[in-house]
Amino acid sequence: MYKDEIEDFRQWESEEAAFRTVGNVKRLNRHKIYDIDLVECYLARTNPQLRQPK
């Protein structure tokens, strides 16, 4: 579900898309999912603190 939303926002260059993408990545990280394709995702001005697997 969260990966589908990230895919929906890919290539959409807006603050809303950026913050929604980061929110979805954080939700996936909470479920210990770290293999997330962020190629061509707009993340400007979000300052994401994305987790790396331990």
Residue 34 tokens, joined: 């770290």
For 4, other C-beta atoms within 10 Å of its C-beta total 8
Return the pLDDT at 51: 58
Residue 39 tokens, joined: 């190629």
Return the pLDDT at 49: 67
For 28, other C-beta atoms within 10 Å of its C-beta total 19
Length of the chain as a residue count: 54
Range of the domain at 48: 1-54
Return the pLDDT at 10: 95
* The model scores a pTM over 0.85: no
Q: Which residue has the tokens 């990966």?
A: 3
In the chain (54 residues long), the average pLDDT of successive 10-residue segments reads 95 93 93 93 78 61
Task: Look at the chain and report how many structural domains it folds into.
Answer: 1
